[in-house]
Structure 1
Amino acid sequence: MVFRLDRPFDIDPAGQRVLDIEAMAQCVRDAAGALHAAGVRRGDRFAVYKDNHLDCLLLAAAGIRIGAVPVMLSGLLPTDPALALLRRTEPKLLVSNRRLLSREGNGGESLTSFAERTVSLDGGVPGATPFAELYGSADPAPDPRPDDELMMLTHTSGTTGVPKLIMYTPEKLQGQMARLECRHLPPITFRRNDTVAMFCPYVHARAFTWIYSVLTLAPTKVLVMSESDPQVVGPLFERHRPTVIEALPIDYARLEGLADDRRSRAFASVRMFVGNFDAVRWPIIRTFLNASRHRFPVWREGYGQSETGGMGMTFISRRTANRRRDELPGPRKVGRPMPGFTQLKVVDPKTFAPVPDGRPGLVLARTRARCVGYYGEPERWEEKVRGEWWNTGDIGIRSRTGSLRLLDREVNHVPGMSCLEQEDILVDRLPKGHDVALLTVPDGPPVPVVATPDGTLDEASWAGATRGLPALAKPVVIASDAMPRTGTGKIVREELRRRHLGETEPPGSGRWT
């Protein structure tokens, strides 16, 4: 098995683009030596806040190797939330790069304010130690943490403000979350002859469970993507035809034009597309499945949360994706819970009594993979825990056969409708490049915020898109780049609400966001 990188690691002075397992392991040992030389010791917290690449994960592995606790922060996280998380954790060391370290928060605070020491991977930052000065230091003996001790902190997406920091132990992350993916279950897991391409925020727990499955199932080739620029992705995929691709919705959206290009064979060999972090709109699913020349390509959509890992899974065929638009229910059917790993139930949001199948309610999950807490915010954790059950904050419907369909987040839910499904239908009917977020209000129809490439909306197109749907308020039209999103591409609905609805409160309680 070999790893091919779209660009060299920031922690590798040799600038390698092709690495085997031993070369990857050596990167971890070298990074462990550098961290140790910087003063990191067993039990210390150290923060990784750098440009996205798989070496974020390797830095975490290096720290874990010597018994330290990595605090993983996405390089796409804005400065002020990053400062808030650094303030909360007070790391011994901050590992970052010049681009991020040059920023200041709104209050003039520096990123280096809350760490005892800072290392700049590309140097050139006053007061920060260049990584090159530490590289080559002796690798200390491994000193891993026990299965029940804190191993790592990662953050949630932050759609409702400063992200939460999730606490993982080895038993939860390695022993439970990664366990299902490491089983040989063709065709939904890797085959030995697969070429796997991955787009991911590599600070996220998803990257850790994914790498376990890669190392266990050993596909022939792994294409490690740090970004989704079509000018980079196209040539690489033409040379090394991926058979399995996993990406965020925002990555698929950026690559949609490449998939639409019938001259390109970048996606011709793909047998399975995997969506992660959020549901993908129907037009994008259709475009990618049609770009594959495989006889029976599928789209695998997972349902899960950072706190629980995977909870459900569903598949979409090319035939389903190409059905008449009016027949499409929206890709919010998340399938059945994973047998032997997860149980799901639907309850009344006020009484928590179970509701009959076919009726909407709050989705609770029971899984042994549930993480152990929110760092520094135990009260937020306790609000979502009900004994062995985890409150997902989602409103859904369970069928008689046990499958689950999501309607909305509880904070945005209005009885009798599903904004998520309506959004899917609207986006499917509108021209390409349009996106929609419905903002619910307590005493009127939802307010649609429509993002278009040029900030204008054709009235006839909107009339056609809304035909036959429940009543909507007059749309608010914005340019696509004005749609507030998290680093993983999720729409920040609370920011939209603040901008366009002022003080109007959402209909839900918001207790479990």
Structure 2
Amino acid sequence: MPAMKLWESSIGLLFDRRSEIGKPMDFHLSRPMDIDPEGRTLLDVAAMADVVRATAGALHEAGVRPGDRVVVYKENHFDCLLLAAAGVRVGAVPVMLSGLMDPDTVRPLLQRTEPRLLVSGRRLLEQRGSDGAALSEFSDRVLSLDGGIPEAISLTDVLGASAPPPVHRADDELMMLTHTSGTTGIPKLIMYTPEKLQGQMARLECRHLPPITFGRKDTVAMFLPYVHARSFTWIYSVLTLSPATVLLMSENDPETVGPMFLKHRPTSIEALPIDFLRMAELTRQGQGDAFASVRMFIGNFDAMHWSVIRAFLNASRHRFPVWREGYGQSETGGMGMTAITRRKANKRRDEMPGPRKVGRPMPGFVKLKVVDPQTFAPVPRGKPGIVLARTKARCVGYYKEPERWQEKAVGDWWNTGDIGVMTRTGALKLLDREVNYATGMSCLELEDTLVDRLPDGHDIALLPVPGSPPVPVVASPDGQLAKDVWETAVRGLPELAEPVVIGFKEMPRTGTGKILREQLRRQHLTGAGHPGHGRWT
């Protein structure tokens, strides 16, 4: 993509440019944004552009200048993305942190980035770390979106200031930082440039490829951690393909989702596995009509269990609904995709599902290969090994942690940390993360099977232990699991240890809903080793 086009389509100017095109598009919000003093739940593209400009003026008034780091750490909503756009517009580098992270995790990220401004809300700013320190101690200035914090700037005090002229940013210049999931410790901060985020990651999504992309008549619903890079590539595709209506969801509570979906009738829904798990209650409560118009469900971040996929596809009344599942990482963007039909999902009910197929690499964009974890020599098709990816979308590094980047960068190839198998036809099947991989089995496959056999509302994590059967941690709605139910579920499967049973809400998860397996190990497997070394997580 030429430099001028990248500059013109900068996230800081994106809403302005799309409003000039004039295609009508309505954004319905599940609740008002924290940066919108008018408290609206319906905005068009021009109104979104106004919010970005107003917020850019407020950030500038709060002292932000080109090159400064601005940390966005707030309750999840679409305004996280608009705050980032405003920061880019004034030449700053937004640092996007999930509001679900605790102070002891956020603190080292603040120390690493040395922000000029920390943007947050009262609830998060009043939290204290384990040593009693407030997060405000680790930023030059603090902007409280809802006031109430002594010595912090209140948003109402700086709104109304004029926005400065947009600051030009070179294609290879650092534009934004987002964090990894942090499943094994303090998250890494990924460095994005305009060329990588806009020129490569977003480019593929902006192509019109029916039926797996949006059309002008679609009503698109999105559930995301809006601090994640996925939200930025997604908004480029939305504003390029111009569906008529966009539903911006900040919560997955069925009492909010059900009425909104019945009113606006989405045709496409993208969400995290944890969101689909929560919304699945609607398919069991006789409120499946909320999904009657959906032709495409989109899953990202982690594979979704077959039982949940089946519930949503069966709830749709579209003639040929599909479940589109993407395979990718924050460092690389999308690497593969597969589509699951209703017929295929229902056929899997009584079968062992087999290793999770994530599709084929995207032609012209990505190459994948499977190699030996020790020698990195290619392995024959059908044999397991570490999955390496080569893509022009690969980001430029981990902020102030080059050694962690070099652990995963293998020349032009990227070590995904996944163990997979390449089929004879060139499709990739995933077995496990390397750190959890036990030779001769796939915990992901067994988890799929067990969740399918257990009653609705259960989730499971298998923790492999060298020399012993894997330990199942079962999360049930009430923290109970009848012995006969478990014995029926494991019948015919490889040997497993006795299950550890916890309540569903006790299952530890990251901000994107991934299960924190290391935390489960610390809680339930004191002293037990890993089957893998975990260098590439």
TM-score band w.r.t. shorter chain: over 0.9
Partner residue, 2:194:
170
1:178 match: secondary structure:
helix
Partner residue, 1:109:
133
> Which of 258, 265, 283 does residue 241 from structure 1 map onto?
265
> Which of 466, 469, 489 does residue 445 from structure 1 map onto?
469
After TM superposition, give the deviation of residue 164 of structure 1 in Å: 0.7
Q: Say yes or no: does 1:281 pair with 2:281.
A: no
Distance 2:280 2:163 in 1: 44
- Tell me whether 259-268 or 149-158 shows the greater mean CA deviation: 259-268
Partner residue, 1:11:
35
Query: Do the aligned residues in 2 keep the contact of 1:281 with 1:331 (CA within 8 Å)?
Result: no
Distance 1:90 1:439 in 2: 37
> Which of 327, 339, 350 does residue 303 from structure 1 map onto?
327
After TM superposition, give the deviation of residue 454 of structure 1 in Å: 1.6
Q: Report the aligned-residue RMSD.
A: 1.0
1:286 match: secondary structure:
helix
Distance 1:11 1:331 in 2: 44
> Which of 402, 413, 418 does residue 389 from structure 1 map onto?
413
> Which of 226, 236, 245 does residue 221 from structure 1 map onto?
245
Query: Do the aligned residues in 2 keep the contact of 1:330 with 1:424 (CA within 8 Å)?
Result: no
Q: What residue ranges of structure 1 are gaps of 5+ in the alignment?
A: none
Cα deviations by residue, 1:82-120 (Å, 9 ceiling, x for unpaired): 111111111000000011001010011111111100000
Q: What residue ranges of structure 2 are gaps of 5+ in the alignment?
A: 1-24
- Tell me whether 274-283 or 256-265 shows the greater mean CA deviation: 256-265
Change (3 A) 1:272 1:114: same
Query: Do the aligned residues in 2 keep the contact of 1:47 with 1:91 (CA within 8 Å)?
Result: yes
Partner residue, 2:236:
212
What amino acid is aligned across from residue 510 of structure 1 in structure 2? G
Partner residue, 2:112:
88
Partner residue, 2:57:
33
Distance 2:108 2:248 in 1: 30
1:159 match: secondary structure:
coil
Partner residue, 1:503:
527
After TM superposition, give the deviation of residue 328 of structure 1 in Å: 4.4
Partner residue, 1:489:
513
Change (3 A) 1:70 1:425: same
Partner residue, 2:13:
none
Partner residue, 1:268:
292
1:167 match: secondary structure:
strand
Partner residue, 2:393:
369
Partner residue, 1:47:
71
Query: Do the aligned residues in 1 keep the contact of 2:355 with 2:431 (CA within 8 Å)?
Result: no
> Which of 104, 107, 118 does residue 142 from structure 2 map onto?
118
Q: Say yes or no: does 1:430 pair with 2:454.
A: yes
Q: Percent identity?
A: 71
Distance 2:408 2:516 in 1: 21
Q: TM-score scaled by structure 2?
A: 0.94
What amino acid is aligned across from residue 492 of structure 2 in structure 1? G
Distance 2:420 2:257 in 1: 36
Distance 1:100 1:65 in 2: 26
What amino acid is aligned across from residue 397 of structure 1 in structure 2? V
Distance 2:39 2:376 in 1: 55
What amino acid is aligned across from residue 5 of structure 1 in structure 2? L
Distance 1:269 1:162 in 2: 41
Q: Say yes or no: does 1:198 pair with 2:213.
A: no
Query: Do the aligned residues in 2 keep the contact of 1:2 with 1:20 (CA within 8 Å)?
Result: yes
Query: Do the aligned residues in 2 keep the contact of 1:280 with 1:331 (CA within 8 Å)?
Result: no
After TM superposition, give the deviation of residue 293 of structure 1 in Å: 0.7
After TM superposition, give the deviation of residue 122 of structure 1 in Å: 0.5
Cα deviations by residue, 1:136-189 (Å, 9 ceiling, x for unpaired): 101100013111010000001111111110000000000000011000000011
Query: Do the aligned residues in 2 keep the contact of 1:243 with 1:270 (CA within 8 Å)?
Result: yes
Cα deviations by residue, 1:352-397 (Å, 9 ceiling, x for unpaired): 0000000000000000000010111110000100100000000000
Q: TM-score scaled by structure 1?
A: 0.99
Distance 1:373 1:357 in 2: 31
1:374 match: secondary structure:
coil
What amino acid is aligned across from residue 315 of structure 1 in structure 2? A
Query: Do the aligned residues in 1 keep the contact of 2:57 with 2:162 (CA within 8 Å)?
Result: yes
Aligned length in residues: 513
Partner residue, 2:17:
none
Query: Do the aligned residues in 2 keep the contact of 1:48 with 1:71 (CA within 8 Å)?
Result: yes
